[in-house]
Structure 1
Amino acid sequence: MHRRSGLSARTKLTISYAGFLLLAGVLLLAVMWVFVLRWLPTDDPRSLQRTFGGVVFIGPSRADLLRGFTPAAATALAFLLVFGLLGGWILAGRMLAPLTRIADAARMAGYGSLSHRIRMKGPDDEFRELADVFDAMLEQLDSHVAEQQRFAANASHELRTPLAITRTLLDVARDDPTRDQGELIERLHAVNTRAIDLTEALLLLSRSDGKSFTREPVDLSLIAEEAAETLLPLAEKRQTTLDVTGETTQTVGSAALLLRMMTNLVQNAIVHNLPAGGTVTIHTEPQHGASVLRVENTGHPLPSELVPALTEPFQRGTERVRTDEHAGVGLGLAIVHSIVRAHDGTLALAPRPTGGLLVTIRLPDQGLSRN
Structure 2
Amino acid sequence: MNRRPGLSARLRLTLSYAGFILLAGALLLAVVWVFLLHYVPDNPQGLLGIAPNRHLLVRIFGPAAAAALVLLLVLGLLGGWFLAGRMLAPLTRIADAARMAANGSLSHRFRMEGPHDEFRELADVFDAMLEQLESHVTEQQRFAANASHELRTPLAISRSLLDVARKDPTRDHGQLIERLHTVNTRAIDLTEALLLLSRGDRGDFTREPVDLSLIAEEAAEKLLPLAEQRGITLDVTGGTTQTLGSAALILRMVTNVVQNAIVHNLPAGGTVTVHTDPQHGASVLRVENTGPLLPSELVPTLTEPFQRGTARARTDGHAGVGLGLAIVHSVVRAHEGTLDLAPRPAGGLLVTIRLPGTPQAHHPGPPLATPRQRWRGGRPRPARRPRAAGRR
Q: TM-score, normalised by structure 2?
A: 0.89
Counterpart amino acid of residue 32 in structure 1: V
Alpha-carbon distance in structure 2 between the residues aligned to 1:323 and 1:275: 13
Partner of 1:13: 13
CA distance in 2, matches of 1:146, 1:227: 33
Pairing 1:300–2:287 present: no
Contact kept in structure 1, 2:284 and 2:354, CA below 8 Å: yes
SS in 2 for 1:291: strand
* 1:191 has 2:183 as partner: yes
2:177 is aligned with 1:175: no
| TM alignment of 1:283-362, pairs within 5 A | 283-318=275-310, 327-362=319-354
Match of 2:61 in 1: 69
Aligned to 1:121, the other structure's residue is in SS state coil
Which letter does structure 2 place at the counterpart of 1:210? R
Q: Quick one: which of 118, 128, 140 aligns to 1:126?
A: 118
Q: Distance in 1 between matches of 2:6 and 2:252?
A: 57
Out of 195, 205, 209, the residue aligned to residue 213 of structure 1 is 205
C-alpha distance in structure 2 between counterparts of 1:284 and 1:11, whole Å? 63
2:36–2:54 Cα contact (<8 Å) kept: no
Q: Is the 8 A contact 1:228 1:242 kept in 2?
A: yes
How many residues align? The count is: 362
- Give 2:241's match in structure 1, choosing from 224, 233, 249: 249
1:94 aligns with 2:55: no
- What does the per-residue CA deviation read over 1:286-333, in whole Å, with 9 as the maximum and x for residues that have no partner? 111111100000000000111000000001122686899752100000
Structure 2 counterpart of 1:214, one-letter code: T
- CA spacing shift, 1:234–1:142, aligned 2, 3 Å: same
Task: Report Cα offsets for 1:1-41 as digits up to 9, x if no partner.
Answer: 76533321111111111111011111100101101221211
Question: Conserved in 2, the CA contact under 8 Å of 1:314 and 1:321?
Answer: no
Q: Secondary structure at the match of 1:315?
A: coil
CA 1:97–1:12: 2 relative to 1, 3 Å: same
Amino acid across the alignment from 1:141: L
Contact residue 314 and residue 320 of structure 1 kept, 8 A: no
CA distance in 1, matches of 2:60, 2:263: 101
What 5-or-longer segments of structure 2 have no aligned partner? Answer: 363-392
Distance in 2 separating the partners of 1:145 and 1:74:
62
User: Is the 1:314–1:329 contact (alpha carbons within 8 Å) kept by the matching residues of 2?
Assistant: yes
1:264 pairs, out of 250, 256, 260, with 256
Cα displacement (A) at 1:102: 1.1
- Please tell me whether residue 25 in structure 1 is matched to residue 25 in structure 2: yes
Deviates more, 1:315-324 or 1:298-307: 315-324
Relative to 1, partners in 2 of residues 1:238 and 1:312: Cα closer, same or farther, differing over 3 Å? same
Task: Give the superposition deviation at 1:60.
Answer: 2.3
Q: Amino acid of the residue matched to residue 155 of structure 2?
A: L
Distance 1:368 1:103 in 2: 49
User: Is the 8 Å Cα contact of residues 321 and 330 (structure 1) preserved in structure 2?
Assistant: no
TM-aligned CA distance change 1:312 to 1:320, over 3 Å: farther
Out of 100, 105, 109, the residue aligned to residue 108 of structure 1 is: 100
Deviations 1:92-125 (A, max 9, x none): 0001011111111111111111111111111111
- Superposed CA RMSD in Å reads 1.9
Q: Is the 8 A contact 2:287 2:350 kept in 1?
A: yes
**1:284 & 1:176 partners in 2: Cα distance?**
56
Q: Which amino acid aligns with 1:150?
A: R
Q: 1:358 to 1:63 in 2, by over 3 A?
A: same
1:158 maps to which of 147, 150, 159: 150
Instruction: Find the structure with the greater CA-based Rg.
Output: 1
> Which of 1 and 2 has higher RCO (CA within 8 Å, sep 6+)?
2
In 2: Cα distance, 1:189 partner to 1:118 partner: 54
Return the letter of the residue paired with 1:262: V
Is 1:34 matched up with 2:26?
A: no
- Code of the aligned partner of 1:16: S
Q: How far is the alpha carbon of 1:368 from its aligned partner?
A: 8.3
Partner amino acid, structure 2, of 1:39: Y
Quick one: percent identity of the two aligned structures?
Answer: 79
**After TM superposition, which residue ranges in structure 1, 4 or more long, deviate above 4 angstroms?**
319-326
Tell me the alpha carbon deviations over residues 310-366 of structure 1, each in whole angstroms, 9 at most, x when there is no partner.
000001122686899752100000000001111110000000000000000001111
**By how many angstroms is 1:57 displaced?**
3.8
1:53 alignment partner in structure 2: none
